[in-house]
Chain A
């Protein structure tokens, strides 16, 4: 691969304190470097353009059983988004759930180069990897669901944290994932009987542990294993009016846990916070309680969040929170898929249409923006839509414009339900506009920081970083974002260049190369005798209760073409 120099662009690299400087970026052997010999290099003239590190997706549902079940259930969604194959590209389908090719291409067109799939049911992990291996261009990784793990809950009940660590390590390795993920902890087991948990101190049937206990124990384990990211949590009671209390209780449930590594303060990442910030008591009087979340995040370091920004229009909701999807189904009576996964977790899917005429949708739309506008430290909040739950990820450019332009927000607020008065968008948020530097944080820098992928070369452009770069058609010197939201939308929708590992993959918004990226995995090492003790218990579960033999359970190495093992920083107790 030829060396590359991206010349004269305005560079936004917030993790290296570069808030928009005229600067050249050199890439050699796929990595950013100080200097190269210009005469042998591919030269990209970025004069009058914005240059950022490649985008990083911290939470989206892009591959695996749920995503594919959603595709299968919605041929009408596939048909609406069809794009014929090109010389280089395969046919695309989907308008809220994309086929594997469209997923890779669409992210790349927006300048994204690293993607994380946020929910892998362990038993079905093989499926997730089959799809990840077909998504072109980006580097990828995945989060394994440990929320309702039978043996895990038994260990927690018995206070066997050491074994819980060994169990977590086994599941990370067996599923080839790299983050411990929790969706409706304890609640999915209750949903196995058609019930649910609402409060963090309720006990799940039979196993008699609470969401708070589950999260506290796993947070401890996460730090002992020295995983790069904190535990990643979809709190209980998602989407219900008045749920902000449950959310804060969840945050407090892990407050006593100390970070296991010095390069991260967060203990818990609360995903799609928008869905967890409601006041009121029913669908009519629901109101924004974003302030409660904002204040908490502004004054605590152990919790970080992503937005889960909702946008109006048609999309598909899919989550491991099967009980919540059933609640949505009861409201809309639209088609509904549920798939509970034995001994582990659940899931549900329904199509949804968010309307600005609906009170709750309007409040939801406002809350995500409020969080991003009002949280002071933009490295504590990441831009997401919980794709495709609150909106497809293809809406990111519009969300960026809404955050950068109060004029655009004011315009949109004219066409929404009067419930907007029960939000902070018209009041506290009035006039607040994010800068391109803020945007560079919430779309890449923050993600890399929260995932602890800075050292691994993501989310920044210092020498040694991956040669993942996005060049957007915005001249910061001339941009008046407030008055030109359309320019922002168009620029972020179609990068002029997306460069992945030093290779141009998108030019003028079109895919020009489709290399295959790496898949990040974590392989925690566990003390042998501890591991043996855990395996005896786990074998019991397989012999009697799983429907698959233990020998056939772990994802075989043939499923990953380019695995990349991330370094861990384990504590003494486990290694």
Chain B
């Protein structure tokens, strides 16, 4: 083995909400050369890929390399003179960076929001409507004997979720692992997750709410009013599923964007939570959103303890105002309300609707990111950063709200998101200090 080679164990994968913390990496000459135990997605992120080389400012349509100081100054100037700046992204960086970012948003009187806006924001609204009977993932690993995946294809979005926490893992009261569990998939189409299920229930697109209500009606002894078919699911199958849920010793529903981003969005989740709640009349039942980015949950945590609300917070009037549908980034952009944007640790260029992007192309945009991506195409200031969780340490929250510190494995020539935001904040305060 190379004498410069070091092995680091218990590495935390900074990619998806599973936040696996059992990865081993081998480092040679300051570079990660081998990753063990991560899934392909995680491995490729940890190994690293093409980076933005230098800070840049767009001049006459072209991004030109500039000094870091110049890029920070330009960013601060843009934000300081905006009437309604949007500070968006945050889901792939640390809570330390979040804290700084929220402080910056408060200072410039902006809207601060993260990628929950386009994934599990509806789950948040649902929790605010009915609550959330849930638990940590280890609880499910040790106890669950019925697992329902609803509108979530984790074998693709969270490749190791099933082997670490849910279907396949052996637990204290489930020594048999997969054999000790009954796995149900409910979705609008056959996915790679359905392959490993004991039962697949296919629901027509946009009819999840009705199916959930039907299950609740069965629990409420009102099955007699149900039609023979709800959303493409025969009444028999509904009755059977309700019965199976009641009889489980410990059941869990994991849900994904199939529920949050289809018709009646957050209300699908409201109904799924209400169903879970009712099931506790009969047995132990919990429910959990399958959060995507590794620290989308952490941003919600930080913003909540800082302002009282978990995403889409408008600080323009000095206090926090939260109203998804109004203060959510896509709505702010679709309506063309904001006059500048700072985009950090996310890529709206690839994920936002065309209307939002159109507005982004009209206003000054600052991008802070390690990687070149579609957002770079319209950014006016670009500041490259160290990769959080590989080149910078800090806190992240797993999908079940368990906080884990992500590591700094190797040095970087770039500053961390936390440091960059802090520099911008100080510059803004310097500019506004005059007033």
Asked whether B128 lies within 8 Å of A82 as measured between CB atoms, the reply is: no
State the Cβ distance, B79 to closest chain A Cβ, in Å.
17
Q: For the complex, is A453 an interface residue (Cβ under 8 Å from B)?
A: no
Give the residues in chain A near B136, CB-CB below 8 Å.
123, 339-342, 547
Q: Which residues of B contact A90 (CB under 8 A)?
A: 106, 306
Question: Any chain B CB within 8 A of the CB of A397?
Answer: no
Q: Are B138 and A552 in touch, CB under 8 angstroms?
A: no
**Contact yes or no, A556 B405, CB < 8 A:** yes
Distance of A21 from chain B, by nearest CB (Å)? 42
For the complex, is B57 an interface residue (Cβ under 8 Å from A)? no
Residue of B nearest to A326 (CB): B280
The residue that B401 contacts in the complex, of A127, A206, A335, with Cβ under 8 A, is A127
Give the shortest distance, in Å, between A316 (CB) and chain B (any CB). 11
Q: Are B306 and A337 in touch, CB under 8 angstroms?
A: no
A82 to chain B, nearest CB (A): 4
The reply to whether B308 and A85 contact each other, CB–CB distance below 8 Å, is no
Tell me, rounded to whole Å, the shortest Cβ–Cβ distance linking A194 to chain B. 4
**CB–CB B307/A341 < 8 A:** no
A54 to B127, CA, bound (A): 38
For the complex, give the distance between the alpha carbons of A343 and B136 in Å.
Answer: 10
Is B272's CB within 8 Å of the partner chain A?
no
Tell me, yes or no, whether A431 is within 8 Å of chain B by CB.
Answer: no
Contact A91 B129, beta carbon cutoff 8 Å:
no
Closest to B103 in A: A90
Which of these, B106, B138, B164, B315, contacts A343 with CB under 8 Å? B138
Judged by a CB distance under 8 angstroms, whether A352 is at the interface is no
With A338-B134, A342-B138, A549-B10 known to touch, is A73 a contact of B127 (CB < 8 Å)?
yes
B135 near A84: Cβ-Cβ < 8 Å:
no
Interchain CB contact under 8 A, B305 and A68? yes
Of A92-100, A277-285, A386-394, A411-419, the one contacting chain B is A92-100
Considering the complex, give the chain B residue whose CB is closest to the CB of A126: B403
Bound Cα distance from A20 to B304, whole angstroms: 43
* Residue picked from B10, B12, B315, B319, most chain A C-beta under 10 Å: B319
Q: What secondary structure prevails in chain B residues at the interface with A?
A: mixed
Shortest CB–CB separation between residue B107 and chain A, in angstroms? Answer: 9
B135 A552 Cβ-Cβ under 8 A:
no
**Taking the nearest CB of chain A, how far is it from the CB of B374, in angstroms?**
31
A552-B305 contact, Cβ under 8 Å, with A82-B319, A337-B127: no
Please state if A134 and B404 are interface contacts (CB–CB under 8 Å).
no
Task: State the CA gap A83–B308 with chains docked (Å).
Answer: 12
Q: How far is the CA of A339 from the CA of B21 in the complex (A)?
A: 21
Which one, B80-88, B139-147, B233-241, B261-269, is touching chain A? B139-147
Cβ of A545 under 8 Å from chain B: yes
Residues of B within 8 A of A312 (CB): none
Closest to A545 in B: B172
Q: Which of A57-95 contact B (CB under 8 A)?
A: 63, 65, 67-69, 71-75, 77-79, 82-85, 90-94
Question: B130 and A335: CB pair below 8 A?
Answer: yes
| Majority DSSP secondary structure for residues of A touching B | mixed
Asked if A496 is at the interface of the complex by the 8 Å CB criterion, the answer is: no
Please report the C-alpha to C-alpha distance between residue A549 and residue B13 in the assembled complex, in whole angstroms.
Answer: 13
A548 x B404 contact (CB < 8 A): yes
> Taking CB as reference atom, which chain B residue is nearest A101?
B306
A75-B309, A130-B95, A342-B135 in contact; A547/B127 too (CB < 8 A)? no
Contact pattern, A 473-494, Cβ under 8 Å of B = 1, otherwise 0: 0000000000000000000000
- Report whether A337 and B133 are in contact in the complex, using a CB–CB cutoff of 8 Å: yes
Size bin of chain B's contact surface: 35 or more
Among A78, A126, A193, A335, residue most surrounded by chain B Cβ atoms (within 10 Å): A335
Interface check B124, CB cutoff 8 A: yes
B99 part of interface (Cβ distance < 8 Å): yes
Which residues of B have CB within 8 Å of A72? 124, 127-128, 300, 304, 309-310
Question: What sequence of 0s and 1s flags, for each residue 324-358 of chain A, a beta carbon within 8 Å of any chain B beta carbon?
Answer: 00100100000111111111000001100000000
Check: A124 CB closer than 8 A to any chain B CB: yes
Say yes or no: B305 contacts A134, CB within 8 Å. Answer: yes
Determine the distance from Cα of A559 to Cα of B277 in the docked complex, in whole angstroms. 35
Complex interface residues of chain A between 535 and 575 (CB less than 8 A to chain B): 544-549, 551-552, 556, 558-559
Residue of B nearest to A556 (CB): B405
Of A77, A100, A350, the residue contacting B306 (CB under 8 A) is A100
Count A/B pairs, Cβ under 8 Å: 186
Q: A91 and B106: CB pair below 8 A?
A: yes
- Mark each residue of chain B from 273 to 284: 1 if its CB lies under 8 Å from any CB of chain A, else 0: 000010010011
Q: Is B290 an interface residue (CB 8 A)?
A: no
Residue on A nearest B397 in the bound complex, by CB: A127
Is B199 in the interface zone, CB < 8 Å from A? no
Least CB distance, A559 to chain B, in whole angstroms: 8
A interface, how many residues as a size bin? 35 or more
Interface residues of B in 289-330 (CB under 8 A from A): 300-302, 304-310, 315, 317-322
Residues of A within 8 A of B142 (CB): 342-343, 545
Contact partner, B308, options A94, A342, A545, Cβ 8 Å: A94
Of A73, A91, A350, the residue contacting B318 (CB under 8 A) is: A91
Chain B residues contacting A134 (CB-CB under 8 Å) are 99, 305-306
Judge if B250 is at the interface, Cβ distance under 8 Å: yes
- Residues of the B chain whose Cβ atoms lie less than 8 Å from the Cβ of A82: 308, 319-320
The answer to whether B132 has its CB under 8 Å from any CB of chain A is yes
User: Please, what's the 1-or-0 string for B117-132, where 1 marks a CB less than 8 Å from any CB in chain A?
Assistant: 0000000100111111
Chain B min CB distance to A136 (Å): 12
A73 touches B131 (CB 8 A): yes
CB atoms of B10 and A552 under 8 A apart: yes
A192 within 8 A of B: yes
A336 and B131 contact, CB distance less than 8 A? yes
Question: Are A124 and B401 closer than 8 Å at their CB atoms?
Answer: yes
Tell yes or no: A314 within 8 A of B by CB. Answer: no
A126 to B250, CA, bound (A): 28
> What's the nearest-Cβ distance from chain B to residue A451, in Å?
25
* Complex CA distance for A335 and B133, rounded to whole angstroms: 10
Contact A78 B322, CB 8 Å, known A127-B403, A193-B250: yes
Cβ-defined partner of A340 (8 Å) among B139, B171, B405: B139
Which residues of the other chain, A, contact B229 by a CB distance below 8 angstroms?
none
A131 touches B (CB below 8 Å):
yes
**Assembled-state Cα–Cα distance A339/B137 (Å):** 10
Residues of A within 8 A of B183 (CB): none
Contact B300 A84 (CB under 8 A): no
A94-B308, A337-B134 given as contacts; is B129 within 8 A of A544 (CB)? Answer: no
Contacts of A78 in B (CB 8 A): 307-309, 320, 322
B417 to A: closest C-beta gap in Å? 16
Q: Does B40 make an interface contact (CB < 8 A)?
A: no
30 A-B residue pairs with Cβ-Cβ distance under 8 Å, sorted by A, are A68-B304, A71-B308, A72-B127, A72-B128, A83-B319, A85-B106, A91-B319, A91-B320, A93-B308, A99-B307, A100-B305, A100-B306, A124-B401, A130-B95, A130-B301, A134-B99, A194-B283, A335-B128, A336-B133, A337-B127, A340-B134, A340-B136, A340-B139, A342-B135, A342-B136, A547-B136, A547-B141, A548-B404, A552-B404, A556-B405
**Additional pairs, 16, CB under 8 Å, beyond known A340-B135, A552-B404:** A67-B305, A73-B132, A91-B320, A100-B305, A100-B306, A123-B138, A127-B403, A193-B143, A336-B130, A336-B131, A337-B127, A338-B132, A338-B133, A342-B135, A545-B172, A549-B10
Binding site for B on A (CB under 8 A): 63, 65, 67-69, 71-75, 77-79, 82-85, 90-94, 99-101, 123-124, 126-127, 130-131, 134, 150, 192-194, 206, 326, 329, 335-343, 349-350, 544-549, 551-552, 556, 558-559
